């Protein structure tokens, strides 16, 4: 029951200067596949982990962990239209004398569950249009704050001469590091903007798995590599035909109610996703090799 076409994940170490869409186009050409998608857009200036799904694995993207991690540098003493150094400079202010203790006090206010206002230049939809499109036409937008969670926020270094601090951030999906730079600068009373950013983890993948665009094609990562955070259930041989027809089947162990479950075929390969339902059953939700 192997898949007819490649099915798996590729983790790119995205270079600066390329959009995520351009990276997907290069992967399509390298593997001769149309069905390719990425998990989590990176701005062109940002480098690092860009997970790419190929073939049927594109259907697994909604099941992956949304948490991400970054290392970035914040420049204090200025505000810009985009909350990074790519935007127009709006104001510059002197940076107060800061030590690690003062920076730690400021960072403490951004740990845990917070409300965050996205940057003006962002992909958030406003009245059916991306915020960045309206911003580039000169519109001033008041984007509402949204709940995000910053699980870890670590000060890696502080350079007073350059007015730059280096941070490591582990956060939920939807967190903007540019907004964090802006808000941290505001909390310190001098303004701030993101100077550099590198994503070190996303969707359960890390830099240790990443390859460069120049090294393509590479062997794909097994789809199961991205689903370690979910329970697994292996089909018995006599359940295979029913699975392919979308019939519910009995779970062999207790599973979280209504939660997603990765389903393995009798040979141990991933064959789709199911959902735990009443009566100790698993209902197929995504079947790779469906009958008919």
Identify any residues that bridge with 274 across adjacent strands, giving them in sequence order.
261, 284
Q: Is residue 282 within 8 Å of residue 233, measured between CB atoms?
A: yes
For the chain, helix, strand, coil in percent to 5 are 20, 35, 40
Identify any residues that bridge with 283 across adjacent strands, giving them in sequence order.
275
Whether 43 is catalytic is yes
Q: Is residue 155 within 8 Å of residue 100, measured between CB atoms?
A: yes
Q: Which of 43, 83, 84, 183 is catalytic?
A: 43
CA distance 171 to 151: 5
By CB atoms closer than 10 A (0-12, 13-18, 19+), residue 250 is exposed
CA distance 17 to 33: 24
Handedness of CA 175, 179, 181, 184 (dihedral sign): negative
Beta strand 192-202 pairing with 47-54: parallel
Identify any residues that bridge with 182 across adjacent strands, giving them in sequence order.
none
The two structure tokens encoding residue 150: 């910053």
- CA-based nearest residue to 212, from 8, 48, 43: 48
**Edge-to-edge order in the sheet of strand 270-277:** 232-234, 260-264, 270-277, 281-287, 249-250
Provide the annotated active-site residues: 43
């Amino acid at each position: 029951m192997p898949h007819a076409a490649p099915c798996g994940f590729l983790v790119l170490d995205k270079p600066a200067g390329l959009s995520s869409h351009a990276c997907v186009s290069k992967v399509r050409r390298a593997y001769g596949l149309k069905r390719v998608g990425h998990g989590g857009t990176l701005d062109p200036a940002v480098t690092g982990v860009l997970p790419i799904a190929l073939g049927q694995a594109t259907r697994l993207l909604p099941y992956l962990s949304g948490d991400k991690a970054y290392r970035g540098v914040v420049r204090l003493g200025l505000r810009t239209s985009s909350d990074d150094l790519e935007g127009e400079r709006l104001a510059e202010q002197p940076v107060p004398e800061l030590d690690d203790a003062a920076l730690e006090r400021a960072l403490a206010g951004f740990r845990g569950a917070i409300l965050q206002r996205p940057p003006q230049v962002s992909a958030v939809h406003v009245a059916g249009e991306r915020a960045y499109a309206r911003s580039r036409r000169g519109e001033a937008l008041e984007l509402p704050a949204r709940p995000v969670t910053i699980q870890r926020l670590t000060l890696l270094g502080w350079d007073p001469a350059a007015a730059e601090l280096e941070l490591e951030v582990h956060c939920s999906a939807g967190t903007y590091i540019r907004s964090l730079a802006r808000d941290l600068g505001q909390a310190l009373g001098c303004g701030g903007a993101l100077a550099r950013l590198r994503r070190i983890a996303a969707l359960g993948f890390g830099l240790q798995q990443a390859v460069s665009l120049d090294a393509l094609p590479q062997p794909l990562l097994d789809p199961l590599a991205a689903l370690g955070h979910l329970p697994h259930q292996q089909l018995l041989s006599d359940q295979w035909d029913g699975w392919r027809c979308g019939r519910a089947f009995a779970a062999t162990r207790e599973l979280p109610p209504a939660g997603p479950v990765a389903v393995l075929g009798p040979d141990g390969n991933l064959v789709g996703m199911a959902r735990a339902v009443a009566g100790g059953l698993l209902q197929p939700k995504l079947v790779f090799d469906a009958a008919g």
